[in-house]
Amino acid sequence: MLHIPTLLMVAVFVFCLMGLLTVHTWRRVREPTLGYLGVMLLLASLGTALIVVRGIGMDFVALILGNVVLLLSAAMNWTAMRVFVQGKPYLPGILAGPALWLLMCLIPQFYGSMSSRVSLYSLLAAGYGVLSALELWRHRQHLEVAYLPAMGLMVFHTTFYCVRAVIDPGMPIKNENALMGESVPFFSFMLFESMLYAIGIAYVTLAMVKERAELKFKAAAFSDVLTGIGNRRAFMLHGEQLLADSKQRGQTTALLLCDLDYFKRLNDSFGHPMGDQALIAFSQLTATLLRKHDLFARIGGEEFACLLQGTDEQGAIQVAERIRQGFASLDLLAPGFLSVSIGIVTTTPTCHDLSRLLSQADQALYRAKDQGRNRVQTAICAAL
């Protein structure tokens, strides 16, 4: 049989250590989720420590204050998950469980019934567990991280407290000999489960935070800071993959190379901020005219590229004309200041190389410039 005082002491130190380490990590990375999780673990340590004073003349502190602290700890678990999915802490929800516990303890019949106290506390703790799991489940499509381990831990933790609310009559701790009662095995298992949950949820939450940070850094490395679309690195990487897939399927792919006309004149006449606005406006317009599976990126100063999978030359010309006409019709500047020249090249059975396509499209683009700008010019991709 597990020794309850030893388990209580171990639980206090495990919660405290995990809490301090999590708070330390939060101070270094400033991720709010870790801050709330650290507070949860430290509150769990304090609440568990208050249980120890039962049986030495301070039952009121353990039963009232100790359970309030433990319920606040459960609320912090929910808040940590809520903040992780980009929500905000909900103070009424955080205080609802502890407040209900305090109000019920004012009723003598409830305060004197151990089974009632155990049932209510377990149901409140399970309620916060349900809320925590729901935060991840409701936002699962946008998380882009491995959330299932955290969900599994929270579901098991919640189920445990639901079962406890039904079958555990409670454990009256009057002296050390009372710790050998028939309900002690369940109480010892509760302490053991709580320690495993604290370690597990701290680890998987840290893993989720780390994974999301890595995804953000990766996205930043492959996106253009000004326009928010892909950069040259992203275009070359994903473009090669798209072309390889098109070649395997026997599909024709079109490359559009777009260059804003007289961009230096625009900057000199209206300033670089207006030039930036023109680049942003072009990227936003073009993105609305392309399909979701098309690849679009800014590959140079005022140069953009589009890869249209499953599109032949005529289809590419239609898309290019919509882009050209749409950009020229924007009322961002005086008429004549906004225009774009576009070079088009399509793949052939012997030409699926991205570098070769870019070279051929670049030649078509310069021909469009030489012929007066604000036009679309095509080229044929010939294999080397």
Q: Tell me how crowded residue 93 is: count the other CB atoms within 10 A of its CB.
A: 15
Residue 321 has pLDDT above 70, yes or no: yes
134/81 Cα distance (integer angstroms)? 9
pLDDT at res. 113: 87
Q: Are the C-beta atoms of 47 and 73 separated by less than 8 Å?
A: yes
pLDDT at res. 62: 75
* Residue of 48, 17, 30, 38 lying closest to 80 (CA atoms): 38
* Residue of 292, 291, 305 lying closest to 227 (CA atoms): 305
Q: Are the C-beta atoms of 151 and 205 separated by less than 8 Å?
A: no
- Binned at pLDDT 50, 70 and 90, residue 219 comes out as confident
pLDDT at res. 384: 55
* Residues 319-332, mean pLDDT to the nearest whole number: 90
* Residues 111-134, mean pLDDT to the nearest whole number: 92
pLDDT at res. 181: 43
User: What is the tens place of the pLDDT at every residue in 123-158?
Assistant: 999 999 999 999 999 999 888 899 999 999 999 999
User: pTM for the complete prediction?
Assistant: 0.74
Q: Tokens 């953009």, residue?
A: 304
CATH topology of domain 232-380: Alpha-Beta Plaits (3.30.70)
Annotate 327-364 with b (16+ C-beta within 10 A) or e (fewer). beeeeeeeeebbbbbbbbbbbeeebbbbebbbebbbeb
Residue 172 has pLDDT above 70, yes or no: no
Residue 177 has pLDDT above 70, yes or no: no
3-class SS of residue 265: helix
pLDDT at res. 153: 95
Query: What average pLDDT is seen over the chain?
Result: 88
- Binned at pLDDT 50, 70 and 90, residue 285 comes out as very high
**Length of the chain, in residues:** 384
User: What is the tens place of the pLDDT at every residue in 21-68?
Assistant: 999 999 998 899 999 999 999 999 999 988 876 656 666 777 888 899
Identify the bridge partners of residue 346 per DSSP, sorted by sequence position. 254, 380
* Out of 134-138, 186-190, 209-213, 364-368, least confident range: 186-190
375/321 Cα distance (integer angstroms)? 8
Residue 176 has pLDDT above 60, yes or no: no
The identity of residue 301, as a single letter, is G
11/111 Cα distance (integer angstroms)? 26
Sheet holding 376-380, edge to edge: 295-298, 303-309, 253-260, 340-346, 376-380
* Residue of 35, 94, 45, 90 lying closest to 66 (CA atoms): 45
Q: Are the C-beta atoms of 328 and 339 separated by less than 8 Å?
A: yes
258/324 Cα distance (integer angstroms)? 9
Cβ burial, residue 72 (10 Å; 0-12/13-18/19+):
buried
Residue 180 has pLDDT above 60, yes or no: no
User: What is the tens place of the pLDDT at every residue in 60-101?
Assistant: 777 888 899 999 999 999 999 999 999 999 999 999 999 999
Domain boundaries, the chain: 4-221, 232-380
pLDDT at res. 111: 87
- Binned at pLDDT 50, 70 and 90, residue 187 comes out as confident
pLDDT at res. 184: 58
371/245 Cα distance (integer angstroms)? 35
Share of the chain above pLDDT 90, in %: 64
pLDDT at res. 343: 94
384/379 Cα distance (integer angstroms)? 15
User: What is the tens place of the pLDDT at every residue in 328-341?
Assistant: 888 877 666 789 99
